[in-house]
Amino acid sequence: MSDARSFGGWQDERSGFIGGLSVGGFTLIAAAVLVVMVPLYRGAIVEELIAVPIAGLLVAAAMVRISGLTVFEWAHLGSRNTLGSVFGQQVFASGAFAPARVDDPAGDQPVDLPGTLARLRFLNALSGYGGKYGVVYDPIDNTYAIVCRVRYPGLALADTETQTARVASWGGLLQSLCVEGGVWVRVAVQQRCDRDDGTALRAWATERIDPNAPAEATADLQALMANTGP
């Protein structure tokens, strides 16, 4: 039996301007420092007593998170939502009222999606195996996104060598994509962890039964599939 292959070194994705802060959060921290330092530099004790609570509020707005967002980010989203409502930017035009593309009015038009999703374009590319891949193109960020479903329902029926080889191949593929300076910006993997009742495995095995297979082998496989489950 081959040794199991393990992979390490995975890092959580981090984003931010400086120290994980957004540009607005960093600006608030810088403003808090100035609010404290200016009265201190001038030697104004009374002004310093007033400046310290104000600086504390600025730091709290930049650092305290509520449901994953900072107070400043919530305030920013709220103000944008209010301004969008006032100026009618949240009106969703669809169908005959949807504006056509300026660069190609006779070509494929944007899909009826609201907000920033309206800029997305759904393209396709040949797979090389007689099929096509669906690709989502973002012209603003100049990125392409593709969703791939990888499954092998018969893995439970394979021997240990085959199982290890297939898992190692999948891990090696992910490892080859996650390299610094590569064309792949982000790879997200979602794995099904809930227990299967055996329906998918039975359907997979039934579709692949050879009509010319011996009756005994077919009967044994059907009996084995009947007992599959969590």
CA proximity to 209, closest of 162, 139, 154, 163: 154
Is residue 6 included in any domain, yes or no? no
| Last residue in a domain, options 70, 87, 104 | 87
pLDDT tens readout for residues 153-167: 666 666 778 878 888
Does the pLDDT of residue 201 top 60, yes or no? Answer: yes
pLDDT tens readout for residues 96-105: 666 666 676 6
Considering the chain, what percentage of its residues have pLDDT values greater than 70? 72
Does the pLDDT of residue 41 top 90, yes or no? Answer: no
Is residue 92 included in any domain, yes or no? no
Cα(204)–Cα(198) distance, integer angstroms: 10
| Last residue in a domain, options 30, 58, 87 | 87
pLDDT of residue 191: 72
Is residue 199 included in any domain, yes or no? yes
Is residue 104 included in any domain, yes or no? no
Cα(126)–Cα(216) distance, integer angstroms: 42
Phi/psi for 138 (5° steps) reads -110, 105
Is residue 78 included in any domain, yes or no? yes
Is residue 181 included in any domain, yes or no? yes
| Last residue in a domain, options 42, 61, 87 | 87
Cα(81)–Cα(175) distance, integer angstroms: 41
pLDDT band of residue 213 (cuts 50, 70, 90) is confident
- What is the extent of the structural domain holding 80? 14-87
According to the 3-state scheme, what is the secondary structure of 177-218? HCCCCCCCCCCCCCCCCCCCCCHHHHHHHHHCCCCCCCHHHH
Is residue 61 included in any domain, yes or no? yes
Q: Which two tokens stand for residue 228?
A: 């599959």
pLDDT tens readout for residues 42-87: 888 888 899 999 999 999 998 888 887 889 889 988 998 888 888 7
pTM of model > 0.75: no
pLDDT of residue 18: 65
Collapsing DSSP to helix, strand or coil, 21 comes out as: strand
Average pLDDT over residues 132-139: 85
Is residue 128 included in any domain, yes or no? no
> Total structural domains in the chain?
2
Q: Which two tokens stand for residue 128?
A: 């090389």
Q: Which two tokens stand for residue 33?
A: 């420092």
